[in-house]
Amino acid sequence: MSLPLSLALYRAATTALEPFAPLLLDRRAKAGKEDRARLHERLGRPKTPRPDGTLVWLHGASVGESLSILPLVERLRTERPGVAVLVTSGTVTSAALLARRLPAGAIHQFLPVDTPGGARRFLDHWRPDLAVFVESELWPNLLLTAKARGVKLALVSAKLSDKSYAGWRARPFAAWALFSGFDLILAQDGRAAERLANLGGTVAGEADLKFGAAPLPVDAAALASLRVRLGGRPVLLAASTHPGEDELVLAAWRALPASNDHGRPRLVIVPRHPDRGPAVADLALAADAAACLRSREPDDSADVIVADTLGELGLWYRLADLALVAGSLVEGIGGHNPLEPARLDCPIVSGPHVESWLTAYADLRDADGVAFADASVLGARLADLLARPEVLQRQAAQARAFVDRRDAEARAGLDRILALLDAEAQA
């Protein structure tokens, strides 16, 4: 079948640009956006051997999408131990987190750049039987080449932004060529299902893989130790902060009243990117707060703890009396995952800018499981919430009930994916 004109032009352009891919990747590596030791993976030249037998390939573009894959990876390793699992992602941060979170036996690789040669070499090496893509990052050369080789394709937790949807609507033949090629599409919600159907996809149901995950892990010894060291003093957590938010959080914390028993609540700031830790600590010191970096003083319990470590959000959500899920106080980020604290019975407050998690926050708001505050009233809102622990407990319980229900729905969606794998094995 001939390609639609827009896809044919895309293939021609990526073929012409392929010789320049090493130079582009080298520049990105110098900027810290690529892992220089693994650039061969980005060129579709993997060095890790392919395991024998059936192989499932799962792709999530960045941190959120990659982590949403983990429940499926866990089930594959548990229920299909003879099936090899390959997980690809596109960012250095996602690779670091997956290195800590992937179960034994699962393989991580960086996704190759979407050139015809890169796609061909990647698929020649890994020869997947089933490919599962999360959300909406679609790479035409990889998808079309995989489909031509008979790979079963699934698009799960699928969604389309307004911009992306408009772009595909402007190229209807290209949209049909890609979306009609999936053997299974599970939309993130009803709106996404309608859009995907309009573009030529056959939507089998809804399942949001941001649900269905296990609670964030925790080091039990670290949790027990910190519970003692924190001494019963209330803990206010600012999770996954970005530049411009730390100052707002510190100002709001400084404005909190001190209780007679414990003084002002202890503040824990977890920067989204751990390498910002020293800069955040400097901001705290400039605000006349006793601050420490957890990476340097893991047993310290200063007034402000900057948790510049990977993989410890599960620890802090378990210890916090209230968690501000950041990425939501300033524009341009879109918020971060509120489901992680909800699973751990941690009360949640968020800023207003939650475009990336709009549906989840709307549902939590409807369930009375989240509070909101913009930067101008953040201090007063935090003070009000912390003064009413019974309200926080009720909110946390309602958020947990909502997430438990949606997690069950997502696990049913995972059953559909496993069924597709079984069908492939029987073919």
CATH number at residue 143: 3.40.50.11720
216: region left, alpha or beta (phi > 0 left; psi from -120 to 50 alpha): beta
Give residue-wise pLDDT tens across range 252-262.
Answer: 999 998 765 66
Query: How far apart, in whole angstroms, are the C-alpha atoms of residue 414 and residue 238?
Result: 32
Give, to the nearest 10 degrees, the angle between helix 389-426 and helix 378-386. Answer: 100
Active-site pick, 65, 135, 206, 312: 65
Q: Which helix (H) or strand (E) holds 310?
A: none
Q: Tell me what pLDDT residue 1 has.
A: 60
Checking if the pLDDT of 427 tops 80, the result is no
Q: Evaluate if pTM is beyond 0.85.
A: no
Give residue-wise pLDDT tens across range 183-218.
Answer: 999 998 889 999 999 999 999 988 888 788 789 999
> Same domain, yes or no, for 163 and 249?
no
Number of compact structural domains in the chain:
2
Q: Worst-scoring range by mean pLDDT, 11-15, 100-104, 141-145, 192-196?
A: 100-104
> Same domain, yes or no, for 204 and 226?
no
409: region left, alpha or beta (phi > 0 left; psi from -120 to 50 alpha): alpha
Please tell me whether residue 82 adopts helix, strand or coil conformation: coil
* 77 belongs to a structural domain: yes
CATH number at residue 231: 3.40.50.2000
> Same domain, yes or no, for 172 and 276?
no
Domain final residue pick, 209, 234, 255: 209
> Same domain, yes or no, for 138 and 41?
yes
Distance of CA 79 to the CA centre of its chain: 24
Q: Are 339 and 401 in contact (CB under 8 A)?
A: no
Q: Tell me what pLDDT residue 47 has.
A: 96
> Same domain, yes or no, for 276 and 138?
no
* 422 belongs to a structural domain: no
Domain final residue pick, 146, 177, 209: 209
Q: Worst-scoring range by mean pLDDT, 124-128, 298-302, 349-353, 363-367?
A: 298-302
> Same domain, yes or no, for 88 and 228?
no
Domain final residue pick, 152, 175, 209: 209
> Same domain, yes or no, for 203 and 236?
no
* 358 belongs to a structural domain: yes
Here the tokens at position 280 are: 């955040």
Q: Are 176 and 199 in contact (CB under 8 A)?
A: yes
Q: Is residue 74 annotated as a catalytic residue, yes or no?
A: no
Beta partners for residue 203, in sequence order: 185
> Same domain, yes or no, for 260 and 194?
no
* 314 belongs to a structural domain: yes
Q: Tell me what pLDDT residue 420 has.
A: 86
Domain of residue 72: give its range.
5-209
> Same domain, yes or no, for 10 and 150?
yes
> Percent of the chain scored above 90 by pLDDT?
75
> Same domain, yes or no, for 85 and 115?
yes
